[in-house]
A and B are shown apart, each in its own frame.
Chain A
Amino acid sequence: MIAAGQLIFSVAIFLFCFGALTFFTKRSAVVALMGIELMLNGVNLVLVQAGQIYKNAEGTSLVLFVTLVAAAEAALALSIFVILYRKYGTLTLENFRSLKG
């Protein structure tokens, strides 16, 4: 039987990998952003668990900051998406290829 720590760590891995896959494969920008949020969540889980293992407050502190940054980033990113949508009428990532070449 596995220990709790191992289970939680596995969950974190799954979250991270699914988040990555979502980011790589989705065509809509908003959904890709959701993938990023998933990844961050996986990381948070690991951090909290680490805090429990090492018995200090660092894990929790880091989690707090990650959450904070994720919030700010999500807010701004979504604002930008709104503007993009207004300008181009679509959020499909295939259309945004100006970095090509």
Chain B
Amino acid sequence: MTDVLNIVEAPLSWIILLPAAGALLNGLFRLKPMLNGLLATTLCFSAFILSILQFLKFPEASKLVDPGYLWFQAGHVKAQMGFELTPFMSVMLLIITGVGTLIHLYATSYMSHDKSQARFFSYLNLFVTSMLVLALSSDLIGVFLGWEGVGVCSYLLIGFWFEEDKNARAGMKAFITNRVGDLGFLVALFVAFAYFGTSSVSGIMEWIADPGRAAALPVWVLTVFALAIFWAACGKSAQIPLYIWLPDAMAGPTPVSALIHAATMVTSGILVIVRLWPIFATQTEVLTVIFWVALSTALLAALMALTQRDLKKVLAYSTVSQLGFMFAALGAGAPTAAFFHVVTHACFKALLFLTAGSVIHGMHDEKDIFKMGGLRKKMPWSHLAYLVGCVAIAGFPFTSGFFSKDLILTKVFESRGVLGYGLLLLAAMLTSFYMFRSYFLTFSSTARSHEAEHAHESSAMMIVPLMLLSLLSLLVGWLEIPHMWGHLQYFSHWVESSGAKAVEGHEVEAATEWILMGIATVASLASAFFAYVKYKKGPVTSSENFAWKLSFNKFYVDEIYDSFILKPFRKIGTSLSVWIDEYGVNGTLHGSFASYRITGQLASIFHTGSVQSYALLMLLGLLIVWGVVNVW
């Protein structure tokens, strides 16, 4: 493979403009029910077609660019709104637009009875636009624009049914937590401008590649940059300590959870890190930090998912946990594994969420799995889809989840040893356990409530995406099989040809790899079986001990945040407002009134009404003026 870059110009901005047009049109025109949705879906689908066309250019071209236009320039700070596509990002583009189209199609039917469909699809298209801007921008400022855009759309969509206070607050929580993370992105931007002189991604990579300049940097610059980006990723991709918004985000409609909180937005942190991988590859301490934070997140979220009763909450914690897996892969120095899991997770998590939506729809908006049961007969297609999803996420052999999770575990074993591997394996086992718990409680045994007895299957428009996603969840994994099985390593090829080479670790021999694979498979199968045994007859409430309490109450993290962080802020806010408003503003007003009044009162002392005293004062005034004039 030669190192000559073949950079080709491509009309990338069209991919972004199509969903943007959809957002605008849907925002302006309220059409008959379902037509807004179909419009949105069509535009998303055309973006998908365009993405395929760009993808096909790839083996010849190494990078596609669209120079765009200069947004602003102030001194040497330049923001060029240009777009570029590397191979791995073009695959991500396919996921964003492809899975996005399926979700749009599903949502058209899911939201067909809602009273604000136009607004919904406008927001949904706006989200896709922002995500595309984030993915395609060639400049970090453009990425940040998209970053903020997806944050805003996330807020709008989570709080879509804002008439209920709980939903609005969930939206706010998401946005504010994101904002705390965005501080990291800003810090990274500042570092880029101050030390690299540019914020364009390719510019930064060129700058870093020059050994002289890189050596001349103060030692902390790259570390701060990497940590700042990671902090931003923690906010967006829900790692400790900024994951708290994701479970609450389930207040939004299910297609939103599927698109934003499973497939696209939450992976943007990983995407940015992979794009900037050459910097991260050199920062071993930062990678260690990333690994342990990710591992803790994966375990913590998995523990929280064990006891949840809301079907969507189980999936939300599962997402947080799986994101932890992806970051763990990054922390182990394996961007390929991380990206591979991003893609497979997008497929099966979207599948799981959409199926959950179908179930909830069929259960007339009942979300508590303790009240479900026996839906296997009533909703066969949904049942099949959910089963495929669970199987994929648990990593049963030959599913996509199997390949991606295995790759991550292997890489972690290679770089972080037995301890890291063991803990991550534990998280994987817990994943399998709680997913199958939710499966059995939802679909097996008999109906435990009125809604469950009268559940109905969903429409074709919702089932078709489910089936397509099921296929993807089973097949995508075959694109990156372990070396010992053959030569299908597309993901490695894509990621590495985009400039992200894995950190050199010690490769394990084939025998070790077989053993690791075996252990993981047995572990997940065993956990699934254990879940079957425990929950096949329905919910088990006997063991609600202290550990259960901890898990069910999410380890009281939200409460801790509230009392240690939020309460002081609220107190400061109120006391400041009292201070400034009452004493400052009112005080100033009253003070100025008082000054006028007092001046008037002082002056009226001289108004005695006696002409003689007036004359006296006039003379006095004259003398004063005379004196001043003479003295001066």
Contact = CB atoms under 8 A, between A and B. Distances in A.
A77 B608 CA distance: 22
B541 interface: no
Given A20-B619, A23-B615, A24-B616, A93 B604 contact: no
A98 B609 contact: yes
Contact of A97 (B604, B610, B615, B616): B610
B560 interface: no
B611 interface: yes
Nearest to B608: A100
B73 interface: no
A96 B609 CA distance: 7
B607 interface: yes
B610 A93 contact: yes
Contacts of B615: 23-24
A20 B623 CA distance: 14
Contacts of B607: 99-101
B619 A93 contact: no
B610 A94 contact: yes
Interface in A1-59: 20, 23-25, 32
Contacts of B545: none
A47 B619 CA distance: 21
B612 interface: yes
A24 B612 CA distance: 5
B99 to A, nearest CB: 84
Nearest to B613: A24
Interface string A56-91: 000000000000000000000000000000000000
Contacts of A100: 607-609
A100 B611 CA distance: 10
B612 A25 contact: yes
A101 B616 contact: no
A32 B615 CA distance: 12
Contacts of A98: 609
Contact of B609 (A24, A25, A32, A99): A99
Contacts of B609: 96-101
A98 B609 CA distance: 6
A32 B616 CA distance: 13
A22 to B, nearest CB: 10
Interface residues on A, range: 10 to 19
A26 B280 CA distance: 99
Interface string B595-624: 000000000100111111111100100000
B619 A99 contact: no
B626 to A, nearest CB: 14
Contacts of B616: 24
A101 B604 contact: yes
Contacts of B611: 93, 96, 99
Contacts of A23: 612, 615
A97 B612 contact: no
Interface in B332-377: none
Contacts of A97: 608-610
Contacts of A94: 610
B225 to A, nearest CB: 74
Contacts of B619: 20
A24 B619 CA distance: 11
Contacts of A25: 612
Interface string B248-270: 00000000000000000000000
Contacts of A24: 612-613, 615-616
Contacts of B612: 23-25, 32, 93
B175 to A, nearest CB: 61
Contacts of B608: 97, 100
A1 to B, nearest CB: 28
A64 B609 CA distance: 34
A31 to B, nearest CB: 11
A8 to B, nearest CB: 22
Contacts of A96: 609, 611
A37 to B, nearest CB: 15
Contacts of A32: 612
A98 B458 CA distance: 94
A84 to B, nearest CB: 13
B624 to A, nearest CB: 16
A74 to B, nearest CB: 17
Nearest to A94: B610
A96 B613 CA distance: 12
Nearest to B614: A99
Contacts of A93: 610-612
A87 B527 CA distance: 117
Nearest to A21: B616
Nearest to A100: B609
B612 to A, nearest CB: 5
Nearest to A98: B609
Nearest to B607: A101
Interface string B138-173: 000000000000000000000000000000000000
A100 B603 CA distance: 12
A25 B615 CA distance: 11
B597 to A, nearest CB: 15
Contacts of A99: 607, 609-611, 614
B623 to A, nearest CB: 11
Contacts of A101: 604, 607, 609
A44 to B, nearest CB: 19
A81 to B, nearest CB: 13
Contacts of B604: 101
A10 to B, nearest CB: 19
A32 B613 CA distance: 12
A86 B201 CA distance: 102
A35 B616 CA distance: 13
A24 B620 CA distance: 12
A99 B616 CA distance: 15
A23 B613 CA distance: 10
Nearest to B616: A24
Top-7 shortest CB links A-B: A100-B609, A97-B609, A99-B609, A24-B616, A24-B612, A101-B607, A100-B607
16 contacts: A23-B612, A23-B615, A24-B612, A24-B613, A24-B616, A32-B612, A93-B610, A93-B611, A97-B610, A98-B609, A99-B611, A99-B614, A100-B607, A100-B608, A100-B609, A101-B604
Given A20-B619, A93-B611, 5 more contacts: A24-B612, A24-B613, A93-B612, A97-B609, A100-B609
